[in-house]
């Protein structure tokens, strides 16, 4: 059958009928077989009772006859006088009276005295037989005499002492077995295996008939298999221990098999008829159902082709199918609307309605032709994140919509098209051939954009950075133009210019920065010696001892080229790699402090960190873990931050610094005097040290103004409880003046350039020897 629904429904119905029929047949077979087995067993039990009653009655006749014989006075007298003629006559008459087949008179030694049959057929000495029969006093036993089975009883002849024994018996022949068969309904067989004797009620007996072998192995063919024809039960009869006799009851099972077969055939016939009925009805039901589903398949195929307006007009179906068809039609309408919406959203920014980045790239690729000239202007809104933070995202979104409307109005007039390519970045593209025309158009655009906006009843002024790329002069592919215009706007933002024209080579420089960033990350991960720390000593001016150093990172690339710390640290901050870089620095410096401590060199090392490090949630825990790892006292570490890092997120920064101070780490404010720290903010900062910027120290011995600033800063720092470090000491005169101004520490090339750890150890040894 096929794999369609009609075939499945038909198969299901037929399968259910087959399963039901099979279960019914198996259940019937099991229950009927169990019933027949119980019935046969019950019949065998009844047969046992019948045969016992039959043999009991025979035993009663034997006992009565034997007692009458042994009680006869004339018989006793004849036995006592050994009157053979009288004994023989009495035995014969008694046997005829009770139809006894066997009457024997035995002396006390077991020798045969007389018999009602030809005595020549018996052994002269029956002593063994007599001895065993005496054990069954007044009870019959089954014995084989002269190849004939008898039921016999042995009684003594007393006068009053025992003078002889009388043996009375009945023959057990096939007639007896047949009579028992008529009473029990079973085949009856008497078997004396040791005497090779058997008699049975079976009418047709094969040659060399052995009842036990025949009845236990006889089989009959039923349902293409062979089954036992008889259920047998062997019963031990009272007999001599030396010659056991058994009764075999055999219940014929063929009639039971015939009854079961007839019932099974009836059930199978009913099952076939039921199956035919199920096939017909299931086919009709499946046809009625699948016709409607076929209609739905037609609709679905049209939907697959994109024709969501297709509606099926067919013959009347059931209400359920009609409802389903209508639902499909309505679904097509809904999908059509939603597809149009999704298509729009896939190519447009949902907030402004501008093209999105990918759609703009596709559009550019189509518009860029050999005879076309375009100007691409990327526009970045400065400070939009602060508007979102201070006034809420609804105001921020309103600003984006207002800016987009102005860009649309301006660009549409010039025949341009536009896109939103980032959170606060737009791109507008318009045809422009002349350089002067480009400059005028961009100037007009920025002028329009910088006019105040009214958003949510608020008057908001926005500032912008713009980057410009021209096609085809500065690129012929959409991807290249997009990348370069973003490089241009980033350059404008970095240089704090409102406008930056892309310059040839900036793309390559941008690529170099990306390569450098990848190499920096690899150098951090591999820790293969490209990155290493140097340490510049700080002189305690009062004690003239070196008790502090500043830790400064250096990078020598694999090709041997040196990279300025200002370059790669700035690159790490822009990319977010600064957190990993600082973690490497902290681990390296603290490990070095521990190593120096083992060498009895005790120095307090300053580590420069950024605002990103302080804001990072794992910085504090990582620092504590590293200190514990190397068992370094927290007071041996000074964290240096610039004024810019302090005020970038002041509340969060102050909280982070307070947490660091609680563990014993020192805090230093680097580059003091060139930032934006007010005195009001300075008194609130949880710092331990002011580090004067080197711009005041380099020409300290020459500039009186620098001397005023440095002296006042030292006094202010001391009064606020801070120690003061002067950075950039290049001359002895400057160091002398700092000593006179009571500055705490001095650092600069006059003392030493930054040194590797081993070089610093040698320098310290030489310094201590000289001083």
Instruction: Tell me the per-residue pLDDT of 351-377, one tens digit each, with 9 for 90 and over.
Output: 999 999 999 999 998 888 878 888 999
Distance CA 628, CA 634 (A): 9
State the pairing for strand pair 458-460/243-252: unpaired
Please report the pLDDT score of residue 665 as a whole number: 96
Q: 89-110: buried (b, 16+ CB within 10 Å) or exposed (e) per residue? A: bbbeebbeebebbbbbbbbeeb
Minimum mean pLDDT range among 187-196, 387-396, 726-735: 187-196
Q: Are 713 and 682 contacting, i.e. CB atoms less than 8 angstroms apart?
A: no
Distance CA 166, CA 86 (A): 15
Asked if the domains at 72-171 and 357-504 fall in one CATH topology, the answer is no
Who has greater pLDDT, 596 or 684?
596
Please report the pLDDT score of residue 33 as a whole number: 72
Q: Are 623 and 584 contacting, i.e. CB atoms less than 8 angstroms apart?
A: no
Please report the pLDDT score of residue 137 as a whole number: 65
Output the average pLDDT for the chain: 85
Please report the pLDDT score of residue 4 as a whole number: 67
Please give the CATH architecture assigned to the domain spanning 72-171: 2-Layer Sandwich (3.30)
Q: Is the pLDDT of residue 123 over 80?
A: no
Please report the pLDDT score of residue 684 as a whole number: 85
Minimum mean pLDDT range among 540-544, 683-687, 713-717: 683-687
End-to-end CA distance of the chain: 105
Please report the pLDDT score of residue 193 as a whole number: 73
Minimum mean pLDDT range among 57-61, 152-156, 493-497: 57-61
Please report the pLDDT score of residue 125 as a whole number: 62
Is the bond into 355 cis (omega within 30 degrees of 0)? no
Please report the pLDDT score of residue 714 as a whole number: 96
Rg over alpha carbons for the chain, rounded to the nearest Å, is 61
Q: How confident is the model at residue 312 (pLDDT cuts 50, 70, 90)?
A: low
Q: Is the pLDDT of residue 341 over 90?
A: no
Q: Give tens-digit pLDDT for 494-550.
A: 888 889 999 888 888 888 888 888 999 999 999 999 999 999 999 999 999 999 999
Cα dihedral 669, 675, 681, 687, rounded to 10, equals: 0
SS percent in the chain: helix, strand, coil, step 5: 55, 20, 25
Which parts of 609-753 are beta strand (E)?
Answer: 637-642, 666-672, 689-692, 723-727, 745-747
Q: Are 152 and 169 contacting, i.e. CB atoms less than 8 angstroms apart?
A: yes
With a CB cutoff of 8 Å and minimum separation 6, the contacts of 7 are 1, 286
735: exposed, middle or buried (Cβ count in 10 Å: 0-12, 13-18, 19+): buried
DSSP β-bridge partners for residue 535: 551, 755
Q: Where are the domains of the chain?
A: 72-171, 178-252, 304-343, 357-504, 516-770
Distance CA 164, CA 588 (A): 129
Q: Are 767 and 737 contacting, i.e. CB atoms less than 8 angstroms apart?
A: no
Give the CATH H-level superfamily of domain 357-504. Reverse transcriptase/Diguanylate cyclase domain (3.30.70.270)
Cα dihedral 64, 67, 69, 71, rounded to 10, equals: -140
How much of the chain, in percent, has pLDDT values that exceed 90? 35
Q: How confident is the model at residue 99 (pLDDT cuts 50, 70, 90)?
A: confident
Tally of CB atoms within 10 A around 195: 16
Q: Among 116-130, 191-205, 702-716, which range has the highest average pLDDT?
A: 702-716
Minimum mean pLDDT range among 301-310, 685-694, 732-741: 301-310
Residue of 587, 448, 569, 438 lying closest to 516 (CA atoms): 569
Name the packing angle between helices 506-526 and 478-494 (round to 10°): 80
Mean pLDDT confidence for 265-280: 80
Q: Is the pLDDT of residue 71 over 90?
A: no
Q: Is the whole-model pTM more than 0.85?
A: no
Q: Are 610 and 565 contacting, i.e. CB atoms less than 8 angstroms apart?
A: no
Give the CATH H-level superfamily of domain 516-770. EAL domain (3.20.20.450)
Q: How confident is the model at residue 79 (pLDDT cuts 50, 70, 90)?
A: confident
Q: Which residue has the tokens 């009945």?
A: 170
Mean pLDDT confidence for 676-697: 86
State the SS3 of 541-553.
CCCCEEEEEEEEE
Q: What CA–CA distances, in Å, run from 743 to 137, 191, 339, 710?
A: 142, 134, 73, 9
Distance CA 246, CA 253 (A): 22
Q: What angle do CA 570, 572, 573 make, to 5 degrees?
A: 65
Q: How confident is the model at residue 749 (pLDDT cuts 50, 70, 90)?
A: very high
Please report the pLDDT score of residue 647 as a whole number: 57
Distance CA 395, CA 245 (A): 117
Please report the pLDDT score of residue 276 as a whole number: 83
State the pairing for strand pair 453-455/458-460: antiparallel
DSSP β-bridge partners for residue 377: 428, 468
How much of the chain, in percent, has pLDDT values that exceed 70? 92
Indicate the SS3 state at residue 24.
Answer: helix
Q: Is the pLDDT of residue 649 over 80?
A: no
């Amino acid at each position: 059958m096929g794999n369609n629904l009609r075939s499945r429904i038909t198969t299901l119905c037929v399968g259910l009928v087959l399963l039901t029929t099979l279960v019914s047949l198996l259940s019937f077979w099991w229950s009927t077989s169990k019933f027949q087995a119980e019935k046969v067993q019950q019949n065998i039990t009844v047969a046992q009772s019948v045969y016992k009653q039959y043999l009991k009655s025979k035993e009663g006749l034997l006992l009565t006859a034997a007692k009458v014989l042994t009680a006869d006075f004339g018989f006793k007298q004849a036995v006592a006088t050994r009157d053979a003629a009288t004994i023989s006559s009495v035995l014969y008459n008694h046997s005829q009276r009770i139809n006894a087949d066997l009457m024997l008179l035995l002396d006390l030694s077991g020798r045969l005295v007389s018999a009602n049959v030809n005595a020549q057929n018996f052994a002269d000495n029956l002593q063994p037989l007599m001895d065993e029969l005496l054990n069954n006093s007044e009870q019959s036993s089954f014995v084989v005499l002269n190849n004939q089975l008898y039921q016999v009883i042995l009684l003594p002849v007393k006068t009053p002492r025992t003078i002889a024994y009388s043996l009375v018996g009945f023959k057990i022949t096939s007639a007896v077995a047949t009579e028992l068969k008529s009473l029990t309904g079973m085949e009856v067989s008497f078997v004396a295996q040791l005497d090779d004797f058997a008699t049975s009620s079976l009418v047709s007996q094969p040659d060399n008939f052995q009842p036990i072998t025949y009845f236990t192995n006889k089989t009959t063919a039923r349902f293409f298999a062979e089954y036992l024809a008889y259920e047998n039960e062997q019963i031990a009869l009272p007999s001599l221990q030396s010659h056991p006799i058994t009764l075999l009851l055999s219940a014929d099972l063929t009639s039971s098999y015939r009854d079961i077969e007839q019932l099974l055939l009836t059930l199978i016939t009913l099952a076939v008829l039921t199956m035919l009925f199920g096939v017909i009805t299931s086919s009709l039901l499946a046809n009625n159902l699948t016709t409607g589903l076929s209609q739905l398949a037609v609709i679905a195929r049209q939907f697959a082709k994109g024709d969501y307006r297709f509606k099926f007009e067919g013959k009347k179906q059931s209400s359920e199918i009609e409802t389903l068809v209508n639902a499909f039609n309505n679904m097509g309408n809904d999908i059509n609307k939603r597809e149009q919406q999704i298509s729009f959203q896939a190519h447009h920014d949902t907030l402004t309605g501008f093209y999105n980045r990918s759609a703009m790239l596709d559009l550019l690729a189509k518009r860029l032709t050999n005879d076309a000239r375009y100007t691409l202007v990327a526009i970045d809104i400065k400070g939009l994140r602060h508007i979102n933070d201070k006034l809420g995202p609804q105001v921020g979104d309103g600003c984006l919509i207002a800016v987009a409307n102005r860009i649309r109005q301006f660009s549409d007039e010039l025949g341009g098209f536009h896109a939103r390519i980032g959170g606060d970045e737009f791109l507008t593209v318009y045809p422009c051939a002349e350089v002067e025309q480009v400059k005028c158009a961009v100037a007009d655009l920025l002028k329009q954009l910088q006019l105040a906006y009214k958003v949510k009843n608020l008057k908001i002024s926005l500032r912008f950075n713009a980057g410009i790329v021209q096609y085809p002069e500065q690129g012929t592919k959409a991807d290249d133009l997009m990348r370069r215009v973003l490089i241009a706007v980033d350059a404008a933002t970095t240089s704090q210019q409102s406008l930056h024209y892309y310059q040839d080579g900036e793309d390559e420089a941008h690529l170099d920065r990306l390569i450098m960033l990848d190499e920096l990350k690899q150098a951090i991960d591999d820790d293969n010696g490209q990155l290493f720390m140097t340490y510049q000593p700080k002189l305690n001016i009062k004690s003239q001892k070196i008790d502090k150093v500043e830790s400064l990172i250096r990078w020598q690339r694999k090709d041997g080229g040196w990279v300025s710390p200002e370059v790669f640290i700035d690159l790490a901050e822009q990319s977010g790699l600064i957190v990993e870089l600082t973690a490497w620095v902290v681990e390296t410096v603290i490990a070095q402090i521990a190593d120096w401590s083992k060498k009895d060199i005790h120095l307090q090392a300053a580590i420069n960190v950024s605002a990103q490090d302080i804001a990072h949630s794992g910085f504090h825990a990582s620092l504590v873990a590293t200190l514990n790892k190397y068992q370094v006292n927290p007071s041996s570490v000074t964290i240096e931050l610039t004024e810019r890092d302090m005020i970038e997120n002041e509340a969060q920064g102050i909280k982070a610094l307070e947490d660091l101070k609680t563990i014993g780490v020192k805090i230093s404010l680097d580059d003091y005097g060139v930032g934006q720290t007010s005195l009001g903010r300075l008194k609130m900062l949880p710092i331990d040290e002011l580090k004067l910027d080197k711009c005041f120290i380099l020409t300290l011995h020459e500039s009186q103004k620098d001397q005023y600033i440095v002296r006042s800063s030292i006094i202010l720092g001391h009064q606020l409880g801070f120690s003061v470090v002067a950075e950039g000491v290049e001359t002895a005169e400057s160091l002398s003046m700092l000593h006179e101004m009571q500055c705490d520490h001095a650092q600069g090339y006059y003392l030493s350039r930054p040194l590797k750890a081993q070089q610093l150890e040698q320098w310290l040894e030489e310094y201590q020897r000289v001083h």
